[in-house]
Structure 1
């Protein structure tokens, strides 16, 4: 007899007792209380939808850093009970997009110099390598798709559409990074993009307002050229310089905001 046999047989006896016999009521044999199966108050799909709506508002900059996430107000806006909103906010906190502040409750996570440096340091580690790997393997067709996204970036800049600019920029980079044939690397990078979207919005919006639009396209233009040549060294170098430049621009913009608020 093996050690697992008694457990298995007990399970069989339990299953046998759970089977309704002639003459037994639906509540089970005499002396055995009916089993109550817990029901979820709200389906997971509803929580997913609420999370997606709030997440999108944060990604678009409609809910800037510091915005209070009032559960009842949000529930009224999206037309649900408070439970899926509360769960959605918990998930936003886990994703690093919201935080708890004393006497204020949950708010969209604020921006800090320390986090800016930490996030962009990690982006440097991952994205320079992703660009190098991608440039060695990218097809001509995919490099041309990068060029198409670059042209769409230019249009978004002329029209002052910050969110569309960032989306085309990220798709341009995604095409190159996916060519690395390392989906884990790509997913890690995309998660970082979500985490630092507020910083990217500050950088893009502030740079557009300053009129220095060239800094938003010069590195991506060079990156597309490197991809078209299959030049991995150039692609890695351009990505490094681009991320360093972005960090410096965003830091300067945050410092200016802090001075204005002082």
Structure 2
């Protein structure tokens, strides 16, 4: 990973504290594949590249270890967490337990204003992928899902889902051809959104579960061959 690439990633967003800033940028670099699975994360090297002291980098790596994105083997340098089919299966299994539960709460509280706001995000999401802007598409994809989930007000569940989402994005990025599946996903997203608008929690949960299962199956099938070749 080049110094210029990492500095470009760092320049994008500014969380409240330096440690939070470094954490977010390293998180993004891992999710985007700029930092590869198994790649050593040397404190001094990262601090130099990010133009910060070692302290916020150390704090960031501890936080990312707690999120499962970084591994800290005994008596060794930290490294980017490796990918595995077991990890992928566990990640989606947990998401399929939590996200339908959250969408049920959201569907009970959904308003027309929520629907209009999220419809606009969904439209921008499709436009971004049709234009080939996958980075913006991924951002809008997360904004759409979490925009729906936040209506329910499940703060702790959202924290858990966010961590699982970030880990699953590593596999999605590795395995899915985004532009080839965006139309099907848009129909699935629209179905969940319509069920929320109708304040139908059972239908919203059912459609979201099917959407997650379909995505998990696609990601697993494509990741399997890639990971077996690695």
Q: TM-score, normalised by structure 1?
A: 0.73
- Point out the more displaced range, 86-95 or 247-256: 86-95
- What secondary structure is seen at the aligned counterpart in 1 of 2:177? helix
Q: How many Å separate the matches in 1 of 2:132 and 2:71?
A: 30
Match of 1:233 in 2: 202
Q: How many Å separate the matches in 2 of 1:216 and 1:201?
A: 15
Match of 2:215 in 1: 246
Consecutive unaligned residues of structure 2, counting only runs of 5 or more, are 1-15
Match of 1:40 in 2: none
The Cα of 1:79 is off from its aligned counterpart by: 1.6
Of 32, 42, 51, the match for 1:70? 42
Q: How many Å separate the matches in 2 of 1:208 and 1:182?
A: 29
Count of residue pairs the alignment pairs up: 215
Q: Does 1:137 align with 2:109?
A: yes
Q: How many Å separate the matches in 2 of 1:115 and 1:190?
A: 16
Cα deviation code 1:33-83 (max 9, x no counterpart): xxxxxxxxxxx9443332232123223332232332122221211123333
Match of 1:128 in 2: 100
Of 151, 168, 174, the match for 1:202? 174
Q: How many Å separate the matches in 1 of 2:51 and 2:195?
A: 49
1:80/1:67 CA distance change after superposition, 3 Å? same
Q: How many Å separate the matches in 2 of 1:80 and 1:177?
A: 35
Q: TM-score, normalised by structure 2?
A: 0.82
Of 129, 151, 157, the match for 1:157? 129
**Bigger relative CO (Cα 8 Å, ≥ 6 apart):** 2
Match of 1:257 in 2: 226
Greater share of residues in helix: 2
Q: Is the CA contact 2:84–2:227 (under 8 Å) kept in the aligned structure 1?
A: no
Q: Does 1:187 align with 2:186?
A: no
Q: Is the CA contact 1:99–1:108 (under 8 Å) kept in the aligned structure 2?
A: yes
Moved over 4 A (4+): 101-104
The Cα of 1:192 is off from its aligned counterpart by: 2.2
Q: How many Å separate the matches in 1 of 2:158 and 2:72?
A: 30
RMSD: 2.4
1:182/1:49 CA distance change after superposition, 3 Å? closer
Q: How many Å separate the matches in 2 of 1:83 and 1:215?
A: 45
- What secondary structure is seen at the aligned counterpart in 1 of 2:108? helix
Q: How many Å separate the matches in 2 of 1:132 and 1:47?
A: 35
Of 171, 175, 192, the match for 1:223? 192
Of 172, 178, 183, the match for 1:214? 183
The Cα of 1:200 is off from its aligned counterpart by: 3.2
Which of the two has higher C-alpha Rg?
1
- Point out the more displaced range, 165-174 or 134-143: 165-174
Consecutive unaligned residues of structure 1, counting only runs of 5 or more, are 1-43
